Amino acid sequence: MPKKSSKQNDGKIAKSEAGVAAVDKALTILRLFTSSNPELSLIQISDATGLYKSTVLRMLASLENSLLVIKRANGVYTLGPAIASLTAAYQQLSLESVVLPILEDLMHATNESAAFHVRQGDQRLCLYRVDSNQALRDHIKVGDLLPIDKGAGGKVLTAFEGVPGKIASKIRKDMVLAVSGDRVKEISGISAPVFNSEGLIGVITLTMPTYRFDNRQAALVKASAEKLTKLLGGKFS
């Protein structure tokens, strides 16, 4: 069987790379639409992306054909109905299937128990948890309710709900909090906030006996919360 010429192969590679570049440009345009910027003009899109208007128009035409964007009568663009279908499909994904792998990775990286807490009334609920294999650890279980004003998890939740004060401001700046003996004298914890597209939804918390507390693990907790936030479509800032 005759071999294809290198020119033919090079041509296919060039077309493939061009296709990838076009997809990247289209996705860049889609990411410009946010809750604070639901409508964008051609000039705004061109300025924000650095793309020529002619290129933006070609990308928008393709996105319109797929109903990913629509052009209104006044000339501005908004997200189209296909986005709603994609959003509905994404929301069908179980929160558990996204959260648990993050907690498992954090537990294996630190050999300490990792949990995901959410507010429930005037308390916080342990929604998911992955226990450390170590014999000495705290014994909070999924479904347990904890005080909202005690522990790293409670303080992070309330800080990002807008509680005033220097401590809350520092938590919002650092995006992570480590405390020792706040809820239980012998237990320490490190927590960081988790967001989805609507805002704060919970916190990731790493707990350990105080004698094993290592403040350097705060970076791992923060990185885990940031990763989970991105998976949930939120903004970690």
What does the pLDDT average to over 5-16? 44
User: Distance between CA 181 and CA 189 in Å, rounded?
Assistant: 8
| Residue 113, SS3 per DSSP | strand
Q: What are the domain boundaries of the chain?
A: 6-90, 95-231
Considering the chain, what is the average pLDDT of its residues? 88
pLDDT tens profile 195-207:
998 899 999 999 9
pLDDT at 12: 40
Q: What is the pLDDT of residue 14?
A: 44
Higher pLDDT, 233 or 76: 76
**In the prediction, which pLDDT does 92 show?**
62
**Which overall architecture, per CATH, does domain 6-90 show?**
Orthogonal Bundle (1.10)
Q: What mean pLDDT do residues 80-99 have? A: 80
Q: Label the pairing between strands 177-180 and 145-147.
A: unpaired
Residue 138 has pLDDT above 90, yes or no: no
Which single residue is written with the structure tokens 């128009």?
57
Q: Buried (b) or exposed (e) across 16-47, using 16+ Cβ within 10 A?
A: eeeeeeeeebbeebeeebeeeeeebeeeebbe
Share of the chain above pLDDT 70, in %: 90
> Residue 68 belongs to what H/E stretch?
none
Place of tokens 């909070």: 140
Question: Which own/partner contact pairs does 120-123 have at CB distance under 8 Å and 24+ positions apart?
Answer: 120/145, 122/148, 123/147, 123/148
Q: How many CA atoms lie within 13 A of 60 on its CB side?
A: 25
CATH annotation of 95-231: 3.30.450.40
- Span 10-18, average pLDDT: 45
Question: pLDDT per residue over 49-84, tens digit each?
Answer: 999 999 999 999 999 999 999 999 999 999 998 888
CA nearest neighbour of 222 among 183, 174, 163, 179: 174
Q: Return d(Cα 236, Cα 223) in angstroms, integer.
A: 10
Q: What is the mean pLDDT of residues 130-154?
A: 91
- Tokens representing 139 are 């014994």
Same topology, domains 6-90 and 95-231? Answer is: no
- Summarised one tens digit per residue, pLDDT across range 148-166 is 999 999 999 999 999 999 9
**CB-CB contact of 192 with 222 (8 Å):** yes
Side-chain-side CA neighbours of residue 10 (13 Å): 3
pLDDT level of residue 183 (50, 70, 90 thresholds): confident
